[in-house]
Amino acid sequence: MDVSHRTGMLKRTALSGFLSLLNLFFLNSTLAAPAASEELVAGFRAGCVTNTGIIMPYRYFVPDDYNPNQKYPIVVYLHGRGGVGTDNLKHIIKAGKPHIQPTVFTTYQKGRPDYKCIVLAPQSNGLWTKQKLEVLYTLIDDVFGKNYSIDMTRKYLTGNSGGAAGAYISLFSEPQYWTAAVITAGRAPASNKKEAMVVQHLPLWSFHGANDHPERDKLVYSFLAPPFGNMKFTEIAEGNHNSARKYAFNDLFFPELADWLFAQKKVFTAE
């Protein structure tokens, strides 16, 4: 049994509460095979969850050859300011083109069975707050975890810009929840070694443009670089705010990123 994971869920019980019967029906229906009228966007199906008064649209990708008898890692992408809204669209596609995140995780899977995963891209109508992240945890654990065969030892988090800020909030407030994370154009919330050591155990890879004020992530990296922690930091020379994700998720520059991420697996121990 996933002891530490379930302990974390118990701590969140008061906030997550019970979904209404209407929402429960809606969630189950959207997690089934998409209806004939549902339009796939970049291969992503549409869904929506309402919990604790928060409405969260989301897009999700399931491998075409999904096998319920096989365990799949889940990759979660948190969008930045450009994806803010309620249309369940612009965090996935912009100007008619799919965003490099999270659609890159669907292309990673081509010809690589070891990269098969479920990809989840929730949409926020504003900043990623702890309250919204609680809804995300419920979505992952109580909806996807019960409707799909998720490997809970392989929950990967990615975020860009404002989504990187949300990812850092999640990582530092629930450090045992995630298996590994890739952060692009973020700003770590820790300002000293004591604060940084909260995520000492977590495999974390941060990418930042050299001209995009990388000082905070470089500081945290100075505390968490091996052997003191498990953090990697890559600074893109002459890079701006948009450079981090463009380089990070490009096989021409960092072909090892996918191998690194999917190799991470969490080992749970009883408390």
pLDDT over 70 (residue 223): yes
Q: What is the CATH number of the domain that holds 58?
A: 3.40.50.1820
- pLDDT of 193 reads 95
Q: Is residue 7 part of a domain?
A: no
Per-residue pLDDT, averaged over 1-16, amounts to 40
Q: What is the pLDDT of residue 6?
A: 35
Per-residue pLDDT tens over the stretch 151-170: 999 999 999 999 999 999 99
Is residue 24 in some structural domain? no
- Give DSSP secondary structure letters for 110-162: TT-GGG--EEEEE--SSS--HHHHHHHHHIIIIIIHHHS-EEEEEEEEEEETH
- Choice between 255 and 98, residue whose per-residue pLDDT is larger: 255
pLDDT digits (tens, 9 = 90+) for 175-216: 999 999 999 999 999 999 999 999 999 999 999 999 999 999
Q: Is residue 78 part of a domain?
A: yes
Answer yes or no: is 238 within a domain. Answer: yes
SS3 content of the chain, % helix, strand, coil (to 5): 35, 25, 40
Q: How confident is the model at residue 24 (pLDDT cuts 50, 70, 90)?
A: very low
**What is residue 251's predicted lDDT score, i.e. its pLDDT?**
79
Residue-range definition of the domain harbouring residue 234? 45-263
pTM (two decimals)? 0.85
Domain count, the chain: 1
Q: For 93-124, what is each residue's pLDDT tens digit?
A: 876 777 777 888 888 888 788 899 999 999 99
Q: Is 84 within the bounds of a domain?
A: yes
Residue 270 lies in a domain: no
Sequence-distant (≥ 6) Cβ neighbours of residue 210 within 8 angstroms: 235, 236, 237, 238, 239
> How many alpha carbons fall within 13 Å on the CB side of residue 221?
17
| Residue 14 within a domain | no
User: What would the pLDDT profile of 56-92 be if each residue is shown by its tens digit?
Assistant: 999 999 999 999 999 999 999 999 999 999 999 999 9
Residue 59 counted as domain residue: yes
